[in-house]
Amino acid sequence: MTQTGVAVVASEPGPAVPSVAPIAGRSPWRLAWERLRRDRVAMVSMVIIVIIFLLAILAPLVASFTGHDPDAQFRKTGLTPDGLPRGPSGEFWLGTDDLGRDLFVRIIYGARISLLVGVVATVITIVVGVLVGLAAGYYGGIIDILLARAVDVVLSLPFILFAVSLVSITGPSLWIAIVVIALFSWASVARIVRGQVLSIREKEYVEAARSLGSSDARIMLLDVLPNVLAPVIVYTTLLIPIVIGTEATLSFLGLGVPPPTPTWGGILSDSTAFYRVAWWYVVFPGTALLITTLSFNLFGDGVRDAFDPRADRL
């Protein structure tokens, strides 16, 4: 459409010819996805993440190839005559642990816990953080002051001490781990969202929505939220590896999922007594943790670049 001539309005685009197919615009989301698809590092990371997810979901199927149950102890075949773990072999692909269990099977079962905690705790974190940040940033005033103080309090609590004392009351379990992680993560999300909302709130399109008579809920949902979602998505992809690492830490300290359920942190914790004689015992679960968190981090970097191509790389 040209914008030439100062004269009259009607002469400009002309009356519309009835359209056959309306011209579809490319949404900002789609533009970001197209940029992301051109990012090779992010794409490779995404493929690795998908593979890890598939392995975790299909863990029983994969385990059936080896014929080993994750909790089955192979005291005859899986341990040396001295009772030490056996190294990688045709039967035990990644070796065994000190109880003669198949390390490979335990690692892929451990991925289930890591990803479950990673995804569920992250989702809870994001939902709570976004709601709190939206309310604090949008309404301001006393609501903002109260919520911002709550955020400050949470961010200043000593996480490990709090986790230890909580678990000592309730006993370790999967859900306690998830709740503890979410409890300590929502505050930073809330802070990010609040900052974004504070700037979005002053945009003229929010004022326009108000002048149309939109309700606060409608403005927050349709006008504010979609515009703070991009940094939230970026933060989510970077939060998942942090949560996975935190879960591993809790399990390492015996505060996470209790044995015999295999978790990466738990396996690493058990391996500390044997790393001198059984390198595979510490290297393979450690590598699994490293690859997973690294893939999520690299993918998150790609997502950030895709959403904000002008931003400087860190």
Partner 1 sequence: MTADVSEVPATRPVPSGEVLLRARDVVKHFPVGGRSLRGSARDVVHAVDGVSLDIRRGETVGLVGETGCGKSTLARCLTRLYDLTSGTVEFEGQDISTLSRRQMRPFRRNMQMIFQDPYGSLNPRRRVGSIIGEPFAVHGLADGADRKRQVQELMELVGLNPEHYNRFPAEFSGGQRQRIGVARALALRPKLIVCDEPVSALDVSIQAQIINLLSDLQSEFNLTYLFIAHDLSVVQQVSNRVVVMYLGAVAEVAPADPLYDTPRHPYTAALLSAAPIADPDQAEARERVVLIGDPPSPVSPPSGCRFHPRCPKAQPDCAVEIPQLLPRQGDGAEHVAACHHPLADGERLPTGGAVVATVVGPEAEPDRPVEPGAGSGEPSGPVTFEEQP
Tell me which stretch binds partner 1 (CB under 8 A): 64-72, 79-87, 130-138, 213-221: 213-221
Does 149 sit near partner 1 (CB under 8 A)?
A: no
Nearest approach in angstroms of CB 198 to partner 1 is 15
**Distance, first Cα to last Cα, the chain:** 40
The HSE-up count of residue 254 (CA atoms within 13 Å, CB side) is 4
245 close to 289: Cβ distance less than 8 angstroms:
yes
Does 309 sit near partner 1 (CB under 8 A)?
A: no
Footprint on residues 62-81 left by partner 1 (CB under 8 A):
none
Please give the C-alpha separations between residue 295 and each of 19, 50, 51, 110, 193, in angstroms, as whole numbers: 46, 10, 11, 17, 25
Nearest approach in angstroms of CB 299 to partner 1 is 23
Structure tokens at 215: 């309700």
Footprint on residues 215-244 left by partner 1 (CB under 8 A):
218, 222-223, 226-227
Count of residues near partner 1 by CB under 8 A:
37
Tell me which stretch binds partner 1 (CB under 8 A): 26-34, 66-74, 93-101, 264-272: 26-34
- Nearest residue to 93 (alpha-carbon basis) of 130, 53, 65: 65
Nearer to partner 1, 68 or 194 (CB): 194
Binding residue for partner 1, selected from 16, 161, 217, 314, defined by CB under 8 A: 16
Nearest approach in angstroms of CB 162 to partner 1 is 32
277 close to 94: Cβ distance less than 8 angstroms:
no
Nearer to partner 1, 153 or 216 (CB): 216
Nearest approach in angstroms of CB 31 to partner 1 is 9
Nearest approach in angstroms of CB 91 to partner 1 is 55
Nearer to partner 1, 63 or 130 (CB): 130
Nearer to partner 1, 178 or 234 (CB): 234
Nearest approach in angstroms of CB 42 to partner 1 is 22
Nearest approach in angstroms of CB 34 to partner 1 is 14
**Beta partners for 79?**
85
Q: What is the largest CA-CA distance in the chain?
A: 97
Does 141 sit near partner 1 (CB under 8 A)?
A: no
Footprint on residues 177-206 left by partner 1 (CB under 8 A):
203-205
Binding residue for partner 1, selected from 61, 153, 160, 208, defined by CB under 8 A: 208
Nearer to partner 1, 28 or 83 (CB): 28
Name the strand (E) or helix (H) holding 161.
Answer: helix 159-170
93 close to 104: Cβ distance less than 8 angstroms:
yes
- Nearest residue to 221 (alpha-carbon basis) of 200, 242, 238, 244: 200
- Nearest residue to 56 (alpha-carbon basis) of 71, 43, 70, 45: 70
Residue by residue, what is the 3-state secondary structure of 68-117?
A: CCCCCCCCCCCECCCCCECCCCCCCCCCECCCCCEHHHHHHHHHHHHHHH
Residues interacting with partner 1, by CB under 8 A?
1, 3-10, 12-13, 15-16, 19, 22-28, 203-205, 207-214, 218, 222-223, 226-227
